[in-house]
Structure 1
């Protein structure tokens, strides 16, 4: 009678891959909890009472207080702040797109003398902190009559966000095929027509990504807004929330509700445009 030896079972590559995938999912889940956890606690606190936060700051709200959002909206004047922020974000995004797209086209397609030095200059300017220029900029804006003006703040945002946007759009334009541009030139199109009718439609994902980066940066920016805007009717939502927090330091429920009102528009915009944002950012070649 012959005996049959059973070989020890070995893990297949598919099983090893599944184990590695589960470990990856576990790490991603922990990172997601680390990122979303503070936001959930912020949302829970916005629905509690003052005594509820004191007794259970990390738990769920037992009796949701939805009127906290109404009170925060009225007392913090969030409507005016959101309106001013919308004006700042739209104007900043449009201005940065115009400035950066024109500069990126010149650096990527035209033979500009010293273009490499200009690119290095943009890299250096993006690394410098704005605090270095705060005092002379404040003095200059006061003399020009741009202090306490939304337009003056928008011009500063153009200068801050345009260098990075230029590099982002340029890296996108470098990868575009030049055959369409050459065909347009053979048909008699000028440089401006080639730029607006041929290059811009193909570079639209990169331009949209630059607009989203500039818009979100302008919406969340605080230091320049609190420095150059003093009138309550011109404050963006970030400074309006800060003023409200300074006046109501004890009522954390209303502060949390006001913070949620500020976060919700950005969250909705990112959820709607996240695919375009990620695609444009990765296709530009600046992900590392």
Structure 2
């Protein structure tokens, strides 16, 4: 009886996972399929197999969206944001986790409010301030905006990793004569590295796909990110949907490859962050 119940449970679990996998992969499969079709075929039937494989859609998308430049811009901006968020976030999370903060409840409320507050509330003041300072079309300035937006989430998550580290390790290192900086760098960072990797992947995904801030503060043709240049492919009256699907695949592919390569570390990091809050 128990064996039969176990088989039924496994069948239900795997059937549910199979349905969820199908729902997740269907949009990607349609994007790949339609990226190889002519625009007229997509309009007629987006689910049909192409009559002829249109590999030139990728060449046209690469040229028209100037991906040779915009992908590099996105990569540089994403890398700067990851470095800034992981550096400032890990240092702040370490202090919040290992020191007694009297105003912790107020600080928690501030971090949660900062995480949930929409960026539209700050967009106009930020733009006018950056314009007065001459920071429009400056990727470094945009990276600092991303850091301010994403840091509260990173701090809250990384704090759980630092809390999970036994206090005895810190005390033993301090007794041996290590400074707090050495304890942080040589003891804590290797232990919480899966959490930092998780934050890097999440922040990288957010930064790579971000549109509103990028299109507001990076307006020069040589400063556009890949997502903004992809948006500009769509015309007001007509659009080449095959080229647009190919461009979307070009943008998505680097993130998918990176996640597949690092998925084990990502899952370990997410599981480790739930050990202690």
> Which TM-score applies when normalising by structure 1?
0.92
Aligned counterpart in structure 1 of residue 247 of structure 2, from 258, 261, 264: 258
How far did 1:112 drift? 3.7
Aligned counterpart in structure 2 of residue 85 of structure 1, from 65, 74, 78: 74
Alignment pair present for 1:188 and 2:180: no
| C-alpha contact (below 8 Å) 1:248/1:255 kept by paired residues | no
RMSD (Å), alpha carbons? 1.7
Alignment pair present for 1:236 and 2:188: no
Aligned counterpart in structure 2 of residue 65 of structure 1, from 42, 54, 66: 54
How far did 1:248 drift? 8.2
1:53-84, CA deviations, whole angstroms, 9 ceiling, x for partnerless residues?
A: 23332112232111211111011101111100
| C-alpha contact (below 8 Å) 1:47/1:257 kept by paired residues | yes
Alignment pair present for 1:40 and 2:29: yes
SS in 2 for 1:234: coil
Which residue does the alignment assign to 1:122?
A: 111
1:107-164, CA deviations, whole angstroms, 9 ceiling, x for partnerless residues?
A: 0112344233212211111011111111111111111211121111111000011110
Aligned length: 277
| C-alpha contact (below 8 Å) 1:168/1:286 kept by paired residues | no
How far did 1:27 drift? 1.9
In terms of Rg, which structure is larger?
1
Counterpart Cα distance in 2 of 1:146 and 1:113: 37
1:82-112, CA deviations, whole angstroms, 9 ceiling, x for partnerless residues?
A: 1001101111001000110010011011234
| C-alpha contact (below 8 Å) 1:91/1:154 kept by paired residues | yes
Counterpart Cα distance in 2 of 1:199 and 1:249: 55
Which residue does the alignment assign to 1:54?
A: 43
Please list every run of 5 or more consecutive structure 1 residues that lacks an aligned counterpart in the other structure.
1-11
How far did 1:247 drift? 6.6
Please list every run of 5 or more consecutive structure 2 residues that lacks an aligned counterpart in the other structure.
none
> Which TM-score applies when normalising by structure 2?
0.95
SS in 1 for 2:75: helix
Alignment pair present for 1:15 and 2:4: yes
Aligned counterpart in structure 1 of residue 210 of structure 2, from 211, 221, 234: 221
Aligned counterpart in structure 1 of residue 162 of structure 2, from 150, 168, 173: 173
| C-alpha contact (below 8 Å) 2:233/2:239 kept by paired residues | no
How far did 1:287 drift? 10
Query: What are the residue-to-residue correspondences of 1:118-157 with 2, within 5 Å?
Result: 118-157=107-146
How far did 1:198 drift? 1.0
Which residue does the alignment assign to 2:189?
A: 200
1:187-245, CA deviations, whole angstroms, 9 ceiling, x for partnerless residues?
A: 11111111111111111111111111111100011111111110111111000101122
| C-alpha contact (below 8 Å) 2:32/2:245 kept by paired residues | yes
Aligned counterpart in structure 1 of residue 18 of structure 2, from 8, 18, 29: 29
Which residue does the alignment assign to 1:3?
A: none
| C-alpha contact (below 8 Å) 2:210/2:227 kept by paired residues | yes
> Which contiguous aligned blocks of 4+ residues in structure 1 show a shift greater than 6 angstroms?
none
